Chains A and B, each alone.
Chain A
Amino acid sequence: MSTTLEPTGTPVPSSAARGITGASVRPGDRVFLGLSRGAGLLILLTMASIAIFLVVKAIPALQANTANFLTSTAWFPDQSPAVFGIAALVFGTVMTSIVAMVLAVPVGIGIALFIAHYAPRRLATALGFVTDLLAAVPSIIFGMWGLQFLTPHMEGLGEWLNTYLGFIPIFTNTLGLYSKSILIAGVVLAIMILPTISAITREVFVQVPRDHIEAALALGATRWEMVRLSIFPFAKPGMISAAMLGLGRALGETIAVALILSASYDINRHITEPGGNTFAANIALRWNEAGPIGLSALVASGLVLFVITLVVNMGARAVIARRAEFSGAN
């Protein structure tokens, strides 16, 4: 086995000279595999340390706390004795998210339907781009806009709700003040999570097999009947998980809410009145003035938020995963 002479006469190291034996894993591959697996492991490590550090650093405050962490609405962690609880934060977070979901889910699905099945092709791509742009706007800008420009326009709505629907407790307004309310924060959150919801639902709407759609139309269904007959059943799991991912974003949104709400630690059912607070906003607002126990208390509340969003997001993924199994797509 030596160098072979080619017809042209140039010596080329032939493969015969190299043979086929050698290490079965090459050093280059071992290094590259090690690096890329290391990166993957780093992600696991990060997730684990997020959980661990939040728990460890929450413990001092939880030990110092003399009130019930879950049911108290007060937030005086740096007093001695420390008194704080997350009840008001839970209420504010849940209420703003509910408002956001009530508005954003139907509108988001409507947008997705419009882009996927109602708008002309060319327009649809442009509109998809525009809604994606909405997702790229930083949340602090949503917050400023919500405070300075949405709030004045929302006062009329608040008054109207109080006048005509005031018999429903949440719409009652006893103060005559309509700014900085949970309702406004919810509306801004709704606008912020719209792109998330509409982008994911649009994707599943587009995946509905043409046959399903044509089968319905061939039965003489109107377009709306086709949507209910063919599109919604197929896309239901996708729509559910899109809503849940949107919810995850709404629960964790910080700056926009912190700007809009006038942070208060009480449970006020009148959502058009100023007040309310959320986990995320509370952390941002109290951070720089907090002492050691105060920081620890904020970490404890962050831990609760982390767990809530984790549950919501895992739920959304589970729904998607189940759907993938059924459709046989890979």
Chain B
Amino acid sequence: MAKRIDVTDLDIYYGSFKAVEGATLSIEPRSVTAFIGPSGCGKSTMLRALNRMHEVIPGAYVEGKVLLDGEDLYGANVDPVNVRRTIGMVFQRPNPFPTMSIRDNVVAGLRLDGTRRKKAELDEIAERSLRGANLWDEVKDRLHRPGSGLSGGQQQRLCIARAIAVEPQVLLMDEPCSALDPISTLAIEDLIEQLKERFTIVIVTHNMQQAARVSDTTGFFNLSGIGKPGKLVEMAETDVIFSNPTQQATEDYISGRFG
């Protein structure tokens, strides 16, 4: 059920400011792709352009093509709501809905999409998603307590459970571990390893070891200059990027010479 993504010559704008220029890349199904690069180079922007979350910012738009199994996400009669349903997202800071219980958080996407479902069915999906996010054992006794009562790492896994509950094809993760401690980070990394069997995963990270540990392919983004748009410098198998990059900038960044 995972799908591939092909991006061709994508320019991404915030109003008149061009944040990313000429990005062309392919993302294989059932793989983990990591985006790395210095702060402000447009990794989050690129990621959000992949499920049309970019355009919720007033004045933001893109030019170019993003194909999901050959179908253009920015095509004329494409509903962005359906795009986001197909391509889910996990954010940097865990953001469970504060007014909902743990269980309601998980099934929020299903309950609020307009179709009626039986309670038992929702309960089952909630359990399956929480198990999928490796959180079930920790929360099964307090499903009806608020989600905001969990620890940061648990909250993040709750958000992952919430994202996979709607059965997306692709899962985008923007620095999912940057607000977490090392143990929670490991838990999430393990989870990514498992999720990759079912989903296409794209992850933004500042942590080079993490990119090396979890990803199959790595894309390196960089700024072409101050105030200039960010660019995809190089994208290849993770082993290649970390051992034998073709670009000097990539090597400098990976070896910690800047960024």
Chain A residues within CB distance 8 Å of chain B: 4, 6, 8, 10, 12-16, 18-24, 26, 28
Given A6-B128, A8-B128, A10-B124, does the pair A20, B78 have CB atoms closer than 8 Å?
yes
CA A308 to CA B114, docked complex, whole Å: 51
A13, A21, A26, A28 interface centre (most CB from chain B within 10 Å): A21
> Are B85 and A21 within 8 A (Cβ)?
no
- A10 — which chain B residues lie within 8 A by C-beta? 124, 128
**How far apart are A62's CB and chain B's nearest CB, in angstroms?**
47
From residue A22, how far is it (CB to closest CB) to chain B in Å? 4
Write the nearest CB–CB distance from A129 to chain B, whole angstroms.
Answer: 27
Residue from B76, B85, B125 within 8 A of A15 (CB atoms):
B85
Closest to B197 in A: A7
B79 at the interface (CB under 8 A from A): yes
Question: A16 with B77: in contact, given A4-B167, A21-B82, A28-B114 (CB under 8 Å)?
Answer: no
Does the CB pair B82–A19 fall under 8 Å?
A: yes
* A16/B1 in contact, CB under 8 A: yes
List of B residues within 8 angstroms of A14 by Cβ: 1, 167
Q: Which 9 A-B pairs have the closest CB atoms?
A: A22-B79, A20-B82, A15-B86, A20-B83, A14-B167, A4-B1, A15-B85, A21-B77, A20-B78
A21 — which chain B residues lie within 8 A by C-beta? 71, 75, 77-79, 82
Flag whether B80 is at the interface (Cβ < 8 A).
yes
Which residues on the A side are within 8 Å of B68 (C-beta)? 20
Does B188 lie at the interface of the complex (its beta carbon under 8 Å from any beta carbon of A)? no
Given A4-B1, A8-B128, A20-B86, A15 and B75 touching (CB < 8 A)? no
- Can you spell out 22 A-B residue pairs with CB atoms less than 8 angstroms apart? A8-B128, A10-B124, A15-B82, A15-B85, A15-B86, A15-B166, A15-B168, A15-B169, A16-B3, A18-B85, A19-B82, A20-B68, A20-B79, A20-B82, A21-B71, A21-B78, A21-B79, A22-B77, A22-B81, A22-B82, A23-B79, A24-B76
**B73 on interface, CB distance cutoff 8 Å:** yes
Interface centre among A14, A20, A24 (most CB of B within 10 A): A20
Besides the contacts A20-B86, A22-B81, A24-B78, what 16 more A-B pairs have beta carbons closer than 8 Å? Answer: A4-B1, A12-B125, A12-B167, A13-B167, A15-B86, A15-B167, A15-B169, A16-B3, A16-B86, A18-B82, A18-B85, A21-B79, A22-B77, A22-B82, A24-B80, A26-B79
